[in-house]
Amino acid sequence: MATPAASSAPLIEKHTIGYVPPEDRHGKVRDLFTLWFGGNIAPLPIVTGALGVQLFHLNLVWGIVAILVGHLVGGVLMALHSAQGPQMGIPQMIQSRAQFGSLGALLVVLIAGVMYIGFFASNIVLAGKSLHGVVDSVPVPVGIVIGAVGSGIIGIIGYRFIHVLNRIGTWVLGIGIVVGFGYIFTHIQTDDFLTRGGFNLSGWLATVSLAALWQIAFAPYVSDYSRYLPADVKVSSTFWTTYLGSALGSSLAFIFGAVAVLATPVGMDTMDAVKMATGSIGPLMLVLFLLSVISHNALNLYGAVLSLITLVQTFAYRWIPTAKSRAVISIIVLLACCFAAVGASKDFIGHFVDMVLVLLVVLVPWTAINLIDFYAIHKGKYDIQSIFQVDGGIYGRYNPQALLAYAIGIAVQIPFMNTPLYVGPVSAHINGADLSWLVGLLVTSPLYFWLANRDTSYRRRMMGGKLASSL
């Protein structure tokens, strides 16, 4: 669905966390498919997908089944967040003030910002390694800087340019990964391609969790890329284009990583395995993945910057930053990440995965609360003006019901956790499988719904306020 604003929309985005008025809405729902399909065919999901056979010792068939189950389940939550964008017209993180209060939302916003800075730093390391793999004379640190600058330019230009690049990337990367699959399957270099590994319940559950958490990790910023669509687009259309694009693109990337490591000798680095497994087209695949990681990483920078702006705006509520402010903060984040990535250890990606697993423990109950509040409590109707007020307007500075459900949602996950910092007793009993995210969702969702419906004073404030989905 296009609007007249589409042809006149500026290339450099002028909005940051502010409400997008109807006259500035533009784009088509199908752009969400290309954004999340093209954006997920990249080195980091390939490396993550390979863990199912490398770390958890699944064979090809059970690895593929686990990957598909995880993405199909996690993608539902991710796409439900995306469907909020056109109705709200504001970024996901600032919308959290309507559930947690203006100050109560700070912790979740901070965690989301840290996670996406981690994503950005990890991806520029992969960009540096990919560039070094294509051109040996380019040292990895130089490649890191080049990758960061490329992503920075895209992120600073903003929303419309990100969508344009991913429309192109969907075709180029989609064809590229199909060709890559074809080459690998016709040039398998191992005798145990189909027999290496096997089925073990803990490894299968762990791989399902990795795939599901990959999708849930997008939740804090997925609606940032649908908020410019016209407010009258169908919720179902936004959901399905996002869901199919993200689940399909990420599943292909995860499976590609598993196939590449099974087609090469045991013990190889995943991206080295990709280069060897794809033989004569290996350099071309690395170039495609390099371009992909630079383009996709712009989303992580963009999301991190919006989170940081949301944190500052909580205390400087009269400040609605401009494109210039967003550019300055982007450059600061970029420089800090370059410094950290260049000086990081060789196991930077491994440390990053560990960090994401820890942070997702506190993001999962936020996902449950946000979705229940939007779809079951408020049914998409919010007072946008209150969201931007320092005292939270009708939503207040804190929402005790949301904070209580959030704390309990974190606590119930602890026995089921399996992270570098802590392994829960239940997880240890089932050979290390991490089911904390599933428990967190199943407990937090009904708990918050019950608490929110029991809070009669809160409901009276809602009835007295001007509930609207636009200004």
Contacts of 114 by beta carbon, 8 Å cutoff, 6+ apart: 359
Coil, strand or helix at 58 = strand
Q: What is the rounded CA–CA span in Å between residue 91 and residue 223? A: 6
Contacts of 216 by beta carbon, 8 Å cutoff, 6+ apart: 74, 77, 78, 360, 363, 364, 367, 437
CB 40 within 8 A of CB 204: no
Query: Does residue 469 lie within any of the structural domains?
Result: no
Query: Does residue 470 lie within any of the structural domains?
Result: no
Q: What is the CATH number of the domain that holds 151?
A: 1.10.4160.10
Read off the DSSP letter of residue 233: S
Q: Is 356 exposed, middle or buried (0-12, 13-18, 19+ CB in 10 A)?
A: buried
Give the global pTM: 0.85
Query: Does residue 257 lie within any of the structural domains?
Result: yes
Pair of tokens at residue 284: 């071309």
Pair of tokens at residue 38: 């093209």
Domain count, the chain: 1
- Give the count of beta carbons closer than 10 Å to the beta carbon of residue 398: 15
Q: Which amino acid is at 384?
A: I
Per-residue pLDDT of the chain (471 residues; tens, 9 = 90+): 444 444 455 566 666 777 888 887 878 888 899 889 988 888 888 988 999 998 888 999 999 999 999 999 999 999 999 989 898 888 888 888 899 998 988 888 888 888 888 888 888 887 887 788 778 888 888 888 888 898 888 878 776 777 788 788 788 888 889 999 999 999 888 888 888 989 988 889 889 988 998 999 888 888 888 888 888 888 899 999 999 999 999 999 999 999 999 999 888 888 888 888 888 888 888 888 888 888 878 888 888 888 888 888 888 767 767 778 888 888 888 888 888 777 665 666 566 666 666 777 888 999 999 999 999 998 888 888 888 888 888 888 889 999 999 999 999 999 988 776 778 888 877 767 778 889 999 999 999 999 988 865 555 455 444 444 444
Query: Does residue 471 lie within any of the structural domains?
Result: no
Query: Does residue 322 lie within any of the structural domains?
Result: yes
Which range marks the domain in which residue 180 is found? 5-464
Contacts of 17 by beta carbon, 8 Å cutoff, 6+ apart: 90, 91, 93, 94, 306, 309, 310, 313, 320, 321
